[in-house]
Chains A and B, each alone.
Chain A
C-alpha cells in the first residue's frame, strides 16, 4: 500500500469513527440478546424500538447496510480496505449490524456475480434498503447433505416455469417476501447438470409454509410447499440448468456467514460469566479448575480462529484465497460455537436449566444451547465440510 493510500485510509478511519459516534444510538452499541433485537427488514418489518429504526435508517441512507456493494445498487461503494476499517470501527464501539438479511449475506453476492443487469437493478436496491426479506429454498426432505439430488420440478410452459415440490429447513420462510430456490429443470440430465436457480414471490399462488417446532422450542425453520407455482423464466439467475454453479457460489457465502455466527469477542468473556455462577477463589481464579481449563482452552482456540478469519479476508483481498476455504472456517467455527454453549451450560449449572421463567428470560440460555446444535448441520454438515476440504483443498482421491 502506498503512503498516499495509507493516509487516505486513516482519514477514512477518522471520519468513520466521528460519524459512528455521532449517529449510532447508545442502545445499539450492545450485543443483541434476543430475536427482537435483530432487524430483518421486509414488507411486514416492524422496528422493536425507536433507536433500532434510527440506526437502520441512518446506515441505509449512507449505503452502509451493504457497505461494499456498488453505489448504483444501493451499496456504500467502499473498497475492501475501507470495508475492513468500517467493520473494525463498528466492532470497536460494539455497534450492531443495522440490518440482518439473507439477501445481504447470500443472494446479493450471487446476484452480483451471476445476475443480469435487470435482476441486479430490480433486487439489490430493495435488499440494501431492507424492503424485501428473502429466504433460501435449498434442502428437501430427501436432499440434505446430498443437495444435488433435489427433486422439486420446474416444468417449462411458454414464458413460465411451473414449480411443484417441497423444501425443508427453509429459514424464516413464514416471514419471507421472496425466495431464491433450486429447482430441477432437466430431470434427464446428470444430477448436478439439471438444476436452475430461480427467484419468486412467496405470495405467488400455490406457495404454503409450515413452521417446524425444534428442540429449542422455537420454529426458525419451515417446510415449504409449491403446488404449480407459476414463475416467469426471466427470474432464472444465470443459465438454465447451470444453477449448481450459482448454488455453490452462494453456499460459500452462507458458510462464511455461519462460521461468523459465534459471538466472537462480543459481550462478556466466558470466564467472567462462569465466575458469576461458580465463584472464584482468593486469587480470583474460577472455583472449578477443570471448567477454568476448558474455558481457557476455548479462549485460545477462539482467538486463533479470529486471526484465521482475519487472514482469510486478507488472503481473498490479495487474490490468494482457496475458494473452498470457507468450508474449513464453517467446520471449525460451528464446532467452536457448540463448545462455547456446552461451556455456558456447564458454567450455568442448575440456573441454566430453567425453561420457562422471567428469571431465565424464558430459558434463553438452554434454548440458545440447543439452537447451536444445528450450526454444524445447516449450510452443509461438518462431515460434508471435511469432505470438501479433503477433496478440493488436499486433493485426496475418491468420489
Chain B
C-alpha cells in the first residue's frame, strides 16, 4: 500500500480541514481558555463532528459508525493539530472507541459504541499514575469484593476526565507494579460513589483531570476484556492513541513551520527579508526535512496499525519518538525565528509550543519510545 493519501482520504482531509479551520481556528482555543469555559470544548462543534461521521469514524458500521481505519483517524488528527482544536476526538473516538471495539463483549459494544458514534457519549482511558507514562507500573488496586471489585488509587492526565461519561480504568487485579500479568481494564461510571474528579488546568489549555478512586464498587460486568490479561489489549489501544497523537503532532509541526516560513518571507531587518539570511534558510530547510521524515514515519505507523499488526508496535514507537523530537524542534524554532513576537501571548505561536509539550508526554515521550525500540531490537 502506498504511503500517499487515497482520493477518499484526501476528500476526508479537505472536509475536516474545512470544518476545523472555519469553526475552530486557534482563536477558538484562545476563547475557551480566556473565558474559563467549564467544558473546555465546544459541544456544538462536537455535534457537527458526529454529523459528519467523525465521532464514530473508527466504530464499525453495525454500531452506527463509519467503519474507517487508523489512516483516516490520523488524517483528522493532523487537521486538529493544525488549529489546536480542543476536541473529544482523541480520547473518545480514537482511544476509548478502540478499547471498546477490541476488548468489549457484545453487550458492552452495543451499549456504548452507538452513543460514541452519535456524539452523545464521551469516554476516556485512565492510565497514567506517575509523572511519566509507564503503563506496566499501574498500581491502582482492584480487589475482588462480592460479585465485583473495589477500586482504590489515583490517575493523572486523564484526557477529558472531567467531562467524560465513561472511564476506562487500568487497574491491577494481581501481581505488582512492572508486571504484564495482573492488569485489568474496567468500565466505570465517573458518577460512582468514591470517585473524585479534579479538572487540571494544563499549560496547553486542553482538557485533563486527576481522578481519585476510594473503594469504588464496580460489578463483574464492568470488566473490559479479561481479568488479569489486559496487557495485550492495552498495548494495542495505547499504540492506536500514540499513532493518533503522532499525527496531531505532524499537523501541529507543519502549521508552526508554515507560519514561520511565512514570517521569514515578510519580516525585514538590516534592510532585507530575514528569509534571505543563510543561517535561517538552512535551519528552515533542516526543519522541513525533519517534518517530512516524521510525516512518512507516522503514515507508516498508521498504515501498520491498519494492515500489519506484527510490525505496528515498532512502527508506532518510531513515529511517536520522531513526532516528539520534531514537534519540539518545530515549536522552538517557531518561537525563536519569530523573535520577540513569538514570546507574546497575543501571538499564536506560543499555543503550539504548549500543546506540543503536552503531546510529547501523552502516551510516552521520545525517550520512552526510543527505549521501546531498543528493547524490541534486543540490545
> A residues touching B (Cβ–Cβ < 8 Å)?
269, 271-272, 274-275, 280, 284-286, 292-293, 295-297, 299-301, 303-305, 307-308, 310-311, 314-315, 317-318, 320, 325, 328, 331-332, 383, 385-387, 389-391, 393-398
Contact = CB atoms under 8 A, between A and B. Distances in A.
A284 B375 CA distance: 9
A269 B370 contact: no
A323 to B, nearest CB: 15
A287 to B, nearest CB: 10
A202 to B, nearest CB: 37
A304 B278 CA distance: 27
Contact of B377 (A269, A320, A391): A269
A332 B290 CA distance: 9
Contacts of A271: 374, 377-379
Contacts of B285: 328, 331, 385-387, 389-390, 393-394
In this complex, the member of A331, A386, A393 whose beta carbon has the largest number of chain B beta carbons within 10 angstroms is: A386
Contact of A396 (B275, B289, B315, B378): B275
B169 interface: no
B227 interface: no
B272 to A, nearest CB: 8
Contact of A390 (B2, B282, B294, B374): B282
30 contacts: A271-B378, A271-B379, A272-B379, A284-B379, A286-B379, A297-B370, A300-B317, A301-B293, A303-B297, A304-B296, A304-B318, A304-B322, A307-B3, A307-B297, A310-B3, A311-B300, A315-B3, A317-B2, A318-B2, A328-B288, A387-B282, A389-B288, A389-B289, A390-B282, A394-B284, A394-B285, A396-B265, A396-B284, A397-B273, A398-B276
**Chain A binding surface SS class:** helix
Nearest to B283: A386
Contacts of A385: 285
Given A296-B370, A328-B289, A331-B289, A269 B284 contact: no
Contact of B293 (A305, A320, A387, A393): A305
B229 to A, nearest CB: 24
B294 A304 contact: yes
A311 B293 CA distance: 9
A397 B276 contact: yes
Contacts of A395: 265
Nearest to B303: A307
Interface of B: 2-4, 261, 264-265, 272-273, 275-276, 278, 281-282, 284-286, 288-289, 292-297, 299-300, 314-315, 317-319, 321-322, 369-371, 373-374, 377-379
A276 to B, nearest CB: 11
**Which are the 3 A-B pairs with shortest beta-carbon distances?**
A271-B379, A398-B276, A304-B297
> In the complex, which of the residues B4, B261, B276 has the most CB atoms of chain A within 10 Å of its own CB atom?
B4
B284 to A, nearest CB: 6
Contacts of A387: 278, 281-282, 285
Contacts of B284: 390, 394, 396
Contact of A300 (B272, B289, B321): B321
A173 B1 CA distance: 41
A310 B297 CA distance: 10
Contacts of B314: 303
A362 to B, nearest CB: 28
A396 B294 CA distance: 22
A76 B293 CA distance: 31
A284 B378 contact: yes
A269 B377 CA distance: 8
A328 B296 CA distance: 13
Contacts of A308: 292-293, 295-297
A252 to B, nearest CB: 16
Given A275-B379, A397-B276, A310 B289 contact: no
A285 B319 CA distance: 23
Contact of A269 (B292, B296, B319, B379): B379
A375 B362 CA distance: 37
A275 B378 CA distance: 10
Contacts of B300: 307, 310-311
A386 B377 contact: no
Contacts of A320: 4
Contacts of A301: 293, 322
Given A295-B379, A394-B284, A303 B318 contact: yes
Contacts of A331: 285-286, 289
A141 B314 CA distance: 47
A305 B294 CA distance: 8
Contact of A307 (B275, B299, B321, B378): B299
A34 B142 CA distance: 60
Contacts of B370: 293, 296-297, 300
A295 B319 CA distance: 16
Given A285-B374, A304-B293, A315-B4, 8 more contacts: A292-B374, A300-B322, A300-B370, A304-B294, A304-B322, A311-B4, A386-B282, A397-B276
Contact of B292 (A317, A328, A383, A398): A328
B293 to A, nearest CB: 4
A396 B296 contact: no
Contacts of A286: 379
A281 to B, nearest CB: 11
